[in-house]
Amino acid sequence: MNEKDYIEINKASYDIVAEEYKTKYKNNDGANKFYEILQEFVLNKKNSSISKMLEIGPGVGTLLKIFEEKGFRTTAVELSKNMASLACENSSNSVIINGNILETDFMPKQFDFILAMAVIHNFPEEDLIKLLDKIKIWLKDDGYFILDTTNNKVTETGFFEKEDYNNNVVRYRRKWKKEDLETFMEKQGFYIQDSVVYKDSTSSKEWLIYSFKVEKSA
């Protein structure tokens, strides 16, 4: 498999698991607890009654729905057509664009929050840098970029099988190690405002959750 085809491979892979994803996250205590942490994370930083949020890769739209209900103006860009269609059903007050975030554009300083939950590991480092450059443009000066990804013993890249699903699909994954990710983000001008390490007892994964501020250009 060629790394440059990773977008097409990921798109096909998430199309296949979309229905299973929806069922899996509906009654999952681990996921629900996780979403509680995340809500606190965002709501603690909300400084006005209306905030604009962009979610990158919302999957089936579980978080979008939660933030819609909290009064956020929510927009999302989702690569997989099947995921995007479930997200539309789930969160009908959000603007959902079915497309690749790397090929999407927004006006500068549009968003108070940009979220990328379980998404940054879908990009090779070179493209993640391109994405972070876009995020810097799209965020308001006092905006936050919030992400999570799993903590791994070593930083490695490749096409890995999605083990915890019935359909044995592969997708590109850049597995991050905590220290490497923090150094990398700082190098791109993203400074940690808050962070939590969440151990999901149902999957034994360790999730790193961060809220970043962006370095202001002179």
Ligand X SMILES: C[S@@+](CC[C@H](N)C(=O)[O-])C[C@H]1O[C@@H](n2cnc3c(N)ncnc32)[C@H](O)[C@@H]1O
Quick one: which of 16, 53, 54, 83 contacts ligand X (CB under 6 A)? Answer: 83
CA–CA distance, 85 with 207 (Å, rounded to integer): 27
Query: Rounded to the nearest whole angstrom, what is the least distance from the CB of residue 216 to ligand X in the complex?
Result: 27
With CB under 6 A as the contact rule, the residue among 42, 45, 51, 59 that binds ligand X is 59
> How far apart are the C-alpha atoms of 81 and 18, rounded to whole Å?
9
Question: Which segment (51-59, 176-184, 185-193, 207-215) binds ligand X by CB under 6 A?
Answer: 51-59
Size of residue set near ligand X by CB under 6 A: 19
CB of residue 88 to ligand X, shortest distance in Å:
13
CB of 217 to ligand X, least distance (A): 25
Contact 6, 172 (CB under 8 A): yes
Q: Which residue is nearest to ligand X (CB)?
A: 57
Residue closer to ligand X (CB basis): 140 or 169: 169
Q: Are strands 156-161 and 170-175 parallel, antiparallel or unpaired?
A: antiparallel
Residues between 93 and 132 with contacts to ligand X, criterion CB under 6 A: 100-102, 117-119, 122
User: From the list 51, 74, 80, 149, which residue makes contact with ligand X (rule: CB under 6 A)?
Assistant: 80
Instruction: Work out how close the CB of 13 gets to ligand X at its nearest, in angstroms, rounded to a whole number.
Output: 8
Report the relative pairing of strands 139-150 and 205-214 from DSSP bridges: antiparallel
Q: Which residues of 118-134 are buried (b: 16+ CB within 10 A; e: fewer)?
A: ebbbbbeeebbeebbeb
* 64-to-37, 54, 166 alpha-carbon distances in Å: 15, 9, 25
Q: Is 149 in the site for ligand X (CB under 6 A)?
A: no
Partner residues linked to 75 by β-bridges: 54, 95
Distance CA 210, CA 191 (A): 10
List residues binding ligand X (CB under 6 A): 7, 10, 14, 56-59, 77-80, 83, 100-102, 117-119, 122
